[in-house]
Amino acid sequence: MWGGRFEAETDPRVHALNASIPFDRRLVREDLEGSLAHATMLGETGIIAPEDAEAIIAGLKALLADAEAGRLSFRLEDEDIHMNLERLLLERIGPVGGKLHTARSRNDQVALDLHLFVRRQAEAVVEKIRTLQRALLHQAEAHVETILPGYTHLKRAQPVSLAHHLLAYVWMLERDVRRFRAAQTAADVSPLGAGALAGTTHPIDPHRTAALLGLAGIYPNSIDAVSDRDFALDFLYAASMLMMHLSRLGEEIVLWASDEFGFVELPDAFATGSSIMPQKKNPDVFELTRAKSGRVFGHLFALLTVLKGLPLAYNKDLQEDKEGLFDTVDTVHRVLDVLAPAVETLRFRSEAMLRAVRESYANATELADYLVRKGVPFRDAHAAAGRLVRLAADRGVPLEGLPLEDFKAVSPLIGPDVYTVLDPVEAVRRRTSPGGTGFDEVRRQLAQARQAVDGP
Ligand code: ARG
């Protein structure tokens, strides 16, 4: 493709390092779509003759059909997807195919392909996040009145509604959706027309090319247009944040499925066995969810590092933007694909959760708040409740297992109604503050989350 300037053949060892076709073949559709728009614009503006544009467009459409049928064969010596497709076009329609690359460089071409790819993938990921959110909502709807010990420092803290806990993940994922949408907006701009870096002498209409591709606008600066990979980083950051959230969810399910917690029964279809221990039912799906966050974070850092010292404008370093991005897309899809049905079919063991609440003094705050309602300053109430916890713990009984005289000995203000107050179900019901765990408040939140996920 650059034969004119060179006397000797490229050393084959250079191809092995330099060629991107082994991975950028994945951009075949985006590359052909970009070329179709470019050829259309070239014909419309009269930069090339309308009949030449028609021949090129027909050739590109035939290549697109072949690509979709998996009939294209690429060559390592042709370096990348752009040169491979140009060669295939020339083979198909003859020398007129050489007019396609008028007023274009591979630098604005590859940038365009990546914009189209990120825009498309962000949409696809959002769809799958929605499916996972619906699985969580479905579980939450069934578990508004299921009581779970809420934790701080991984110590049982206060009883909460299981729906409330699951909804926390729905809202995290909602913020992830916003971040993927932001990456999509960043990618929604066309670099085509920047040429190698300086623009072009041909009377192009880059707004037309952008419009043909459904892109919102063009870059105001051709040097920025070919150098910018912020939109890819935005996607990697959104993906990293998503994977961090999924990893936290994965970790909780691993904990909850453990023999020690026993809060959840893994569905057989989403659990794995052991080759030696017949009793085992392992949470591999959730462990891998946790682990795979690492490679996605790595891809974010790898691309940041590629870009950080890079002078303007295009440098071959930018070719390294692709593999990490592709692997991120694949990882995120693979994890979301399995997580949604796995979460959907988890069986929560309500009795075990309630037992954990009852065995844990997670109702000690209730006792302190009870005394506050009787006029005791919170700090004194906290101390009184603490003494009663110590007394109960010494006797190996829950707070509600102490006789009334013991309560009264610590604070004469305590009456027989303390036993209702200590009931964990009542404790949850009373937390009516906005965003709190009270059943009615959780039902209100569920409706709000449904609307965020499914639209009004
Ligand atoms: N394969 C290259 C990439 O992925 C395409 C652009 C190459 N441009 C160039 N002038 N070598 O970035």
Calculate how far, in angstroms, residue 319's C-alpha sits from the geometric centre of ligand 1. Answer: 6
Dist. CA 229–CA 154, nearest whole Å = 40
Q: Whole-angstrom Cα distance, residue 116 to residue 111? A: 9
Give helix then strand counts, H and E, for the chain. 19, 6
24 Cβ below 6 A of ligand 1 = yes
Atom of ligand 1 at shortest range from CA of 81: 1
Can you give 94-143 as a three-state secondary structure string?
A: CHHHHHCCCCCCHHHHHHHHHHHHHHHHHHHHHHHHHHHHHHHHHHHHHC
Peptide bond into 313 cis (omega under 30): yes
> Is any atom of ligand 1 closer than 6 Å to the C-beta of 80?
yes
Of residues 180, 166, 175, 332, the one with CA closest to residue 249: 166
From the CA of 108, how far away is ligand 1's center (Å)?
Answer: 9
Domain ranges, ordered by start, for the chain:
3-102, 107-195+220-354, 358-454
Name the residue of 74, 110, 226, 315 whose CB sits within 8 Å of the most ligand 1 atoms, as the mutation to test its pocket.
110
Residue type, 56: I
Instruction: Tell whether ligand 1 has an atom less than 6 A from the beta carbon of residue 84.
Output: no
Strand partners, 285: none
Q: How confident is the model at residue 1 (pLDDT cuts 50, 70, 90)?
A: low
Q: Is 299 a catalytic residue?
A: no
CB 143 within 8 A of CB 348: yes
Q: Report the half-sphere exposure of 429 (CA within 13 A, side-chain side).
A: 8
The pair of three-digit structure tokens given for residue 78, joined into one six-digit string: 């042709």
Please indicate whether the domains covering 3-102 and 358-454 agree at the CATH topology level: no
- The CB of 110 under 6 Å from ligand 1? The reply is yes
What token pair was written down for 163?
């729906």
Mean per-residue pLDDT, 286-311: 98
Q: Ligand 1: which atom is nearest the Cα of residue 24?
A: 4
pLDDT for 229 beyond 90: yes
Dihedral sign for Cα 54, 60, 65, 71, please.
positive
- Residue whose CA is closest, atom 2 of ligand 1? 319
Residue 248 scores a pLDDT above 80: yes
Ligand 1 in reach of 109 Cβ (< 6 A): no
Distance 187 CA to ligand 1 centre (A): 19
Name the CATH code of domain 3-102 (choices 2.60.40.420, 1.10.275.10, 3.40.50.970, 1.10.357.10).
1.10.275.10
Structure tokens, 62: 């035939």
Q: What are phi and psi of 75, to 5 degrees?
A: -125, 135
Nearest C-alpha to atom 11 of ligand 1 is from which residue? 316
Q: Tokens 């026993």, residue? A: 262
Residue 219 has φ and ψ, to the nearest 5°, of -70, 140
Query: Does 318 sit in the ligand 1 pocket, CB within 6 Å?
Result: yes
Which residue, among 225, 245, 423, 220, has the nearest Cα to 318 in the 3D structure? 225
Q: What is the pLDDT of residues 313-325, one digit of tens each?
A: 999 999 999 999 9
Per cent of the chain over pLDDT 90 is 94
Pocket test for ligand 1, best of 106, 312, 323, 325 (most atoms within 8 A of CB): 106
Say if strands 217-218 and 264-265 run parallel, antiparallel, or are unpaired.
unpaired
Nearest residue (CA) to ligand 1, atom 3: 319
394: amino acid identity, one letter: D
Among candidate residues 15, 207, 274, 350, the one labeled active-site is: 274
What is the CA(242)–ligand 1 centre distance, in A?
30
pLDDT digits (tens, 9 = 90+) for 16-38: 999 999 999 999 999 999 999 99
Residue nearest to atom 4 of ligand 1 (CA): 319
How far, CA to CA in Å, does 300 sit from each of 121, 203, 236, 310, 322? Answer: 16, 38, 5, 16, 11
Burial degree of 274 (CB within 10 A; 0-12, 13-18, 19+): exposed
The pLDDT value given to residue 274: 82
Kindly report the CATH class assigned to 358-454: mainly alpha
Cα of 318 vs centre of ligand 1, distance in Å, is 8
Q: Does the Cβ of 184 fall within 6 Å of ligand 1?
A: no
pLDDT digit string, tens, across residues 98-145: 999 999 999 999 999 999 999 999 999 999 999 999 999 999 999 999
CA angle, residues 32, 37, 40, in degrees to nearest 5 = 120
Q: How far is the CA of 316 from the centre of ligand 1 (A)?
A: 6
For ligand 1, mutation pick of 306, 316, 317, 318 (most atoms within 8 Å of CB): 316
Residues near 397 by Cβ (< 8 Å), separated by ≥ 6?
A: none
Phi and psi angles of residue 396, each rounded to the nearest 5 degrees, phi first: 70, 30
pLDDT digits (tens, 9 = 90+) for 151-191: 999 999 999 999 999 999 999 999 999 999 999 999 999 99
Q: Are 139 and 166 in contact (CB under 8 A)?
A: yes
Flag whether pLDDT at 46 surpasses 80. yes
ipTM of the predicted structure? Answer: 0.97
pTM of the model: 0.95
Closest residue by Cα to residue 360 from 149, 63, 134: 149
Cα torsion through 273, 276, 277, 280, rounded to 10: -10
- Please give the distance of CA 185 from its chain centroid, rounded to a whole number: 16
Residues 321-335: what's their mean pLDDT? Answer: 98
Ligand 1 centroid–CA 46 distance in Å is 28
Ligand 1 and 289: CB distance under 6 A: no
Residue 76 has pLDDT above 80, yes or no: yes
Kindly name the residue from 73, 115, 153, 202 that is annotated as catalytic: 153
Do 212 and 37 form a contact (C-beta atoms < 8 A)?
yes
Rg (CA), the chain: 31
Distance 69 CA to ligand 1 centre (A): 26
- The chain-wide mean pLDDT, for the chain, equals 96
Cβ of 227 less than 6 Å from ligand 1:
no
Would you state the CATH architecture of domain 107-195+220-354? Up-down Bundle (1.20)
Q: Rounded to the nearest whole angstrom, what is the distance from the C-alpha of residue 53 to the centroid of ligand 1?
A: 24
* Residue 52 DSSP SS3: helix
Site to probe by mutation for ligand 1, drawn from 107, 192, 312 as the one with most ligand atoms within 8 Å of Cβ, is 107
Q: Evaluate: CB of 319 within 6 angstroms of ligand 1.
A: yes
What is the C-alpha to C-alpha distance for residues 247 and 241, in angstroms, rounded to an integer? 10
Q: Which residues pair with 155 in a beta bridge?
A: 152
Do the beta carbons of residue 451 and residue 172 sit within 8 Å? no
Does 274 qualify as catalytic in the annotation? yes
For residue 230, CA distances in Å to 16, 113, 185 come to 28, 14, 11
